[in-house]
């Protein structure tokens, strides 16, 4: 999924001639706090509610407000993960997108961006989440996938991250979203093959017998 298909047609491009009072009123009604400013298809920067409140004298136009992120934008063919990186790093509410010709192409709503990403990785689908504490030299997604599939399950999503996400232990973590909620047998397989299970989250209640086995297994893994 790339930027060009994530553009929100409802996000307007402001002009420098717009009055601050009008823009603030409109942004309050729409729940937005940041919007792009564009003139003749040229992206000039982002304007925020805080900047207009701080710098805008009564009756002033946007041309009198210092714009933010004047050089920050996404290209129309950038991947959704790159857009998320921009949004997180720079704390953006909207991401301006430029076409290959350098002209303003549109803007992506960051809340909608995260919603689309959640849909794309199956975040809303029913299934258990397993987090493995795994050393880099032991990481083999093909091997882990084989173990999961040997128990009749599928990996919907996987994410490998460093210790800065969880703690300062120096460990690496692999998060797996599966297409099943009954995972006691999968956890037993991981334990049998020497993998350390750090966390288990099921999106639906586990049957009582399986829950008892799961609790026993997790107590064993914690010792």
Please check whether residues 168 and 90 belong to one and the same domain.
Answer: no
Please check whether residues 27 and 115 belong to one and the same domain.
Answer: yes
Domain holding 156: CATH number? 3.30.70.260
CA–CA separation, 94 and 8 (whole Å): 10
Token pair, residue 70, equals: 């004047």
The answer to the question of residue 124 being in a domain is no
Q: Does the global pTM surpass 0.95?
A: no
Dihedral sign, CA of 192, 194, 200, 202? negative
pLDDT at 209: 41
pLDDT at 153: 94
pLDDT at 208: 45
Domain that holds residue 201: 129-222
For the chain, how many structural domains are there in total? 2
Please check whether residues 14 and 114 belong to one and the same domain.
Answer: yes
Please check whether residues 7 and 115 belong to one and the same domain.
Answer: yes
Please check whether residues 101 and 75 belong to one and the same domain.
Answer: yes
pLDDT at 162: 65
Dihedral sign, CA of 2, 5, 10, 14? positive
What are the pLDDT tens digits along the chain (223 aa)?
899 999 999 888 999 999 999 899 888 887 889 999 999 999 999 999 999 988 877 788 999 889 999 999 999 999 999 999 999 999 999 999 999 899 999 999 999 999 998 888 877 788 899 999 988 888 889 999 999 999 999 999 998 886 555 555 567 899 999 999 889 999 999 999 999 999 998 755 545 444 555 555 555 444 4
Final residue before a domain boundary, out of 80, 101, 119: 119
CA–CA separation, 60 and 20 (whole Å): 6
**pLDDT tens column, 147-161:** 999 999 999 999 888
Please check whether residues 114 and 7 belong to one and the same domain.
Answer: yes
Please check whether residues 111 and 141 belong to one and the same domain.
Answer: no
Task: With residue 149 as reference, give the H or E element that holds it.
Answer: helix 141-149
């Amino acid at each position: 999924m790339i930027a060009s298909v994530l553009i929100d047609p409802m996000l307007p491009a402001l002009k420098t001639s717009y009055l601050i009072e009008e823009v603030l009123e409109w942004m309050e009604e729409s729940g937005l706090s940041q919007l792009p400013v564009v003139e003749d298809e040229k992206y000039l920067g982002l304007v925020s509610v805080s900047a207009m409140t701080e710098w805008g004298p009564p009756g002033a136009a946007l041309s009198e407000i210092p714009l933010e992120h004047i050089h920050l934008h996404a290209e129309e063919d950038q991947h959704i993960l790159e857009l998320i990186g921009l949004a997180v790093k720079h704390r953006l509410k909207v991401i301006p997108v430029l076409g290959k010709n350098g002209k303003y192409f549109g803007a992506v709503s960051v809340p909608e961006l995260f919603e689309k990403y959640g849909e794309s990785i199956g975040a809303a689908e029913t299934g258990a989440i397993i987090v493995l504490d795994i050393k880099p030299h032991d990481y083999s997604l093909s091997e882990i996938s084989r173990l999961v599939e040997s128990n009749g399950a599928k990996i919907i999503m996987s994410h490998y991250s460093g210790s800065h996400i969880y703690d300062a232990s120096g460990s690496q973590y692999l998060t797996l979203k599966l297409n099943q909620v009954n995972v006691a047998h999968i956890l037993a397989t991981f334990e049998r093959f020497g993998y350390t299970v750090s966390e288990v989250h099921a999106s639906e209640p586990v049957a009582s017998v399986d829950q008892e086995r799961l609790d026993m297994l997790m107590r064993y893994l914690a010792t």
